[in-house]
Amino acid sequence: MHLLRLLALAVFLVSAPFAFAIPIQVDLGPTGKVYGSRPADLPAPSVQFEGQSIAIDFSFLNGEFIRLFTATKNTFQIDAFFRINSAPLPELKFTGSGFLIDNHGAEIGPPVDLVALPVTDLFHEIGVDLLLRPLTSNAVPADVYGIHLDLTLPNSPGFEFGDGPVGGIMFGGNVFGIGPGSIPRDIVPDVGSTALFLTITLGGLIAMRASVTSAG
């Protein structure tokens, strides 16, 4: 009976989707206040699509962090673009959630669902945008030292992340800070800034998608 249980456990471990963590480091660029958006290159997490669950842990180089001000609340979002090796349509399905991390590795706000948006060249899916709009509740002002994503990949062997040029990541908000450096401890809301942020961010995403499609 004991042997049968061991065999059953072995079969389960072999057949069950395997969850593992992928660390990715991002350079946030120059420090200071940012109005609208800040793009950065994103190394591809080389992994094939076999229906497995993975965790992606973003950290920032050189002790960098993102400061969310009181004025940033409810406007901050992250758009991570990963290239795919030209999977034929119909679109692949990605699901998952994510949250922000402080300098102690603790969550800033609860996990929220990811929005997965396909990027195509009309014939193939050449990438996917993973959009995260984190809930920071009343934790602002707060310093973000990392981002954690839990992602379930499609069961489509033969296709993967990591083929071709690097992707990109876009951090957006009506105003936020990039440290270390001389940045305010807090900035209070300014009437009318939310509409401006939405216009700037939408323009940035459209431009990024257009460049990706033309490059693909």
Is residue 124 very low, low, confident or very high in pLDDT (cuts 50, 70, 90)?
A: confident
> Of 101, 33, 32, 104, whose CA–CA distance to 72 is shortest?
33
pLDDT at 12 over 80: no
What residues are paired with 150 via a beta bridge? 55, 97
Q: For residue 180, is the peptide bond before it cis, meaning its omega torsion is within 30 degrees of 0?
A: yes
- Please give the radius of gyration of the chain, using alpha carbons only, rounded to the nearest integer: 19
Sequence-ordered strand ranges (E) for 76-213: 77-88, 95-101, 107-113, 115-120, 124-132, 142-144, 146-152, 155-161, 167-179
For residues 183 and 210, the model is more confident at: 183
pLDDT at 198 over 70: no
For residues 90 and 41, the model is more confident at: 41
The pLDDT tens digits of the residues spanning 150-181 come to 999 999 988 898 755 678 999 999 999 999 98
Is residue 118 very low, low, confident or very high in pLDDT (cuts 50, 70, 90)?
A: very high
The pLDDT tens digits of the residues spanning 15-58 come to 445 567 899 999 999 999 999 999 999 887 889 999 999 999 99
The pLDDT tens digits of the residues spanning 97-117 come to 999 999 999 999 899 999 999
Looking at residue 216, what is its pLDDT?
54
Looking at residue 206, what is its pLDDT?
54
For residues 66 and 85, the model is more confident at: 66
Q: Distance between CA 32 and CA 161 in Å, rounded? A: 32
For residues 117 and 209, the model is more confident at: 117
Q: Supply 195's token pair.
A: 């509409």
Mean pLDDT of the chain: 82
pLDDT at 87 over 70: yes
The pLDDT tens digits of the residues spanning 135-158 come to 876 778 999 999 999 999 999 988
Q: Distance between CA 27 and CA 62 in Å, rounded? A: 8
Looking at residue 196, what is its pLDDT?
52
pLDDT at 119 over 80: yes
What residues are paired with 21 via a beta bridge? 55
